[in-house]
Structure 1
Amino acid sequence: MDTPSGAPKPPRSPFDDEDADLVLRSSDGVDFWVYKTILAKASPVFKDMFTLPEAHTERQIVKLDEDAGTLEPLLRLVCPVQRPKFASLRQLRPVLAAAEKYMMPFVATGLVDTLRTFIESDPLDVYAIAYSYQMRDVVVVAARQLLKDPRLASPRSPPPEFDTIPARALHEISEYLRRCARAAVDAVEDWRWMVRENEAHAVYVPKRGGVVDQTKAWVWLVCTDAHKHENTPEIEVFGPALLAYNPPRWWWDYIDRLRRELAIKPLGHLATDPSNIGLSVKKAASCSTCAQSALRELVEYGQMLSKRIDAATAEVCALMTVSIAQ
C-alpha cells in the first residue's frame, strides 16, 4: 500500500520489531523501530534524547537529520543484526560522520577493515578519511599505496575531507612522498654495498696492504673494454682502502633510467623491470668483457637493489610522524 505524501514510510526489516520501544525517523521519512536500551548503551547522545512515553503502549519518536541511507548502516553496526556492506566511500563517509556526531567511536573502529578495502582504488581519499578519524595505521598504509603514483596526491578534485583536516596533513603526505623518492634514489647511489656488503660479489681488501681481490666483483666494475667507458662517471668507494671504478655506459644507462623512474615512483620492483634491464643488456652485448654475464648479473643486481630500495622507503614510513588532530 502506498504511503500518503508526507507521511512516514513503514519500517522495514530488520528494524520492524513489534516490541521495539523507540522510533528513529530519518530526514526522508523512513522509520526505524529500535530499542532504547541498545541505543542508550551505544550512544550518550541518544541516551540524553530519550524521555519516557506518555503511555506504555506508545513508542517515542525521535526525528533525526540523517537520511535512511545513512541511518540503516549505522544502526546495523550498533544493533545485533547483519552488518552492512559498503560499495563505495560515498556510502561510508556519512556513516562515519553520524557515528562521530552521536559519539559512537566503536563504529569508526569497527569500520577500519572496511576502509582498508578501498586503499588500492582510492588511496588519497582513504588517507584523508583516516586522518580525519585518527586511524593512524590506515593513514600510513594509504600513504604507502600512494608511492605507486605520487601524482595521486595532487588530484583535480581533492577529497572533501581536505576542507576540514589541518594543512599539515597535506604537508605530511607531500613530505613523505618526497622523502621516499630521495631515499630510493640514495639507495641506488650507495655504491658501497656493491663492494663491501655483498658476499657473492664482494671485493676483498687486505687490512695490511697487499693485492685487492676482485675476482668476484660485478662484471661492470672490472670491465676492461676501454672505449665503453668514454665520458662515464667514476665510482669511489671508501673502506679499508679507496677503491675507484669506471663502469661502462650500458650499466650507467640502467642506473640513470632507474633514478628517473624512482624520482616519480619510489618502488623497489622498478629495479627488476625487464625493459630497463633489457635495454642495457642489449648494449652490453657489444662489450667483450661484459657480454657473457651482463644479463645474469644485472638481474641479480636488480633483485638485490629492489630489496634495498623497499627497505629504504619502509624506514621512511616507520619514521613518518602523523600529527593527527586531537
Structure 2
Amino acid sequence: MRAARKYDMEAVQRHLADELVKFAEQEPLRVFAVAFDLELYEICRKAAKLSLRKAICQSERVPLELGSLPSPVFYQLMRYRTRCTEAAQEVLTNLRWVLTQILGRKGNKIVTRLRHDYVQVSYEWPALWIWFRCTSCLPHCDKLVPFSGAAEHTPRMWWKEYVDRVWYALEGRPVGSVSGEMNIFEPSIRRAVTCTVCAPDAYKDLKEFSEQLASRIDKAVSMVGQPVNVYSSK
C-alpha cells in the first residue's frame, strides 16, 4: 500500500483497500489496526463497528497487528465498545416500549376514555404478547407499569429469563442479532411450551419480539458516536 501511494498508483490503492475490507468481517481488530497504520480511517470505522459482533479476547493469542496500534487509539476503541454495550442494554433496562410501542401487532390499540378530567389507558388483549396474557404458568415477580393510569402486566418467568440472557449476551457482543440466537431463544421456548396457555403462541410471539428487539438494539447502537477520533489520536 505504501509503495502504491509513493508511486501514485491509485487503482492499486483502491484494490488493496477493497481486499482489506473483505477481511474485516472475520478479523475486525486486525483490520482495524492495519487500516489505522495505513491511515485508511474509513475502513477503521467500519472495522470497529464490525468488531462489535465478536467477543473481545476470543483468542488466547494477541493479534500481531495490534502491536502497532497506539495505546490512546486502542483505549478509544474499547470506550466505543463500552458505550455501545451501554446503549444496547438500555433498550432492555427500560422496557416501557414492550407495552406501549408494539409494532405491527394485529388488534393493537390504546383505548382512552375521559372520566372526571383524567385519561384511563387500556390495551386490547389480542395485541398483548402471550407472556402478558397468560396467568397460568410461573410469573416473574416484577410488574411492568408503562405509565400512570395503565394497568399492571406481570410477564411470565420464561420471557424474563429470555430478556436476561439477551442482556448478558450484549456484554460481549452489543449487536441486535444476539436476540435471535438459538442458545438465547430456545431455552425459553422449551419452557413456554410446557404451559397450555403459552404453547400455541410462544414461538410466534417471541420470534416477533426478538426481531423488534434486534432492530431497537441496532438503532440504539447506531446512535453512538464515531468509534475513533483519528485527529485526537495522532
CA contact (8 A) 1:153 1:174 kept: no
Deviation at 1:105, TM superposition (A): 8.7
Amino acid at match of 1:204: I
Match of 1:145 in 2: 50
Deviation at 1:158, TM superposition (A): 3.7
Cα distance between partner residues in 1 of 2:164 and 2:8: 52
Structure of larger gyration radius = 1
Specify which structure has the higher proportion of helix.
2
CA contact (8 A) 2:165 2:184 kept: yes
* SS at 1:244 equivalent: coil
TM-score (norm 1): 0.60
Change (3 A) 1:263 1:203: farther
Deviation at 1:170, TM superposition (A): 0.4
Amino acid at match of 2:27: D
Match of 1:204 in 2: 110
1:48-73 Cα distance to aligned partner (Å, 9 max, x none) = xxxxxxxxxxxxxxxxxxxxxxxxxx
Cα distance between partner residues in 1 of 2:177 and 2:110: 30
Match of 2:217 in 1: 309
Cα distance between partner residues in 1 of 2:111 and 2:42: 45
- 1:1-326 correspondence runs (5 A): 95-96=1-2, 98=3, 102=6, 104=8, 106=10, 108=13, 111-152=16-57, 156-160=61-65, 162-163=67-68, 165-201=69-105, 202=108, 204-206=110-112, 208=114, 209-210=119-120, 212-215=122-125, 216-225=127-136, 228-229=138-139, 232-238=141-147, 241-316=149-224, 318-324=225-231, 325=233
Q: Greater relative contact order: 1 or 2 (C-alpha under 8 angstroms, separation 6 or more)?
A: 2
Deviation at 1:159, TM superposition (A): 3.4
* SS at 2:53 equivalent: coil
Cα distance between partner residues in 1 of 2:31 and 2:130: 46
Deviation at 1:289, TM superposition (A): 3.0
Q: Which stretch of the first structure deviates more once superposed, 105-114 or 297-306?
A: 105-114
Amino acid at match of 2:193: A
* SS at 2:216 equivalent: helix
Aligned length: 225
Cα distance between partner residues in 2 of 1:122 and 1:199: 35
Change (3 A) 1:161 1:151: closer
Deviation at 1:110, TM superposition (A): 5.5
Deviation at 1:120, TM superposition (A): 2.5
* SS at 2:230 equivalent: coil
Deviation at 1:133, TM superposition (A): 2.7
Amino acid at match of 1:148: R
TM-score (norm 2): 0.81
Q: Aligned-pair RMSD on alpha carbons?
A: 2.8
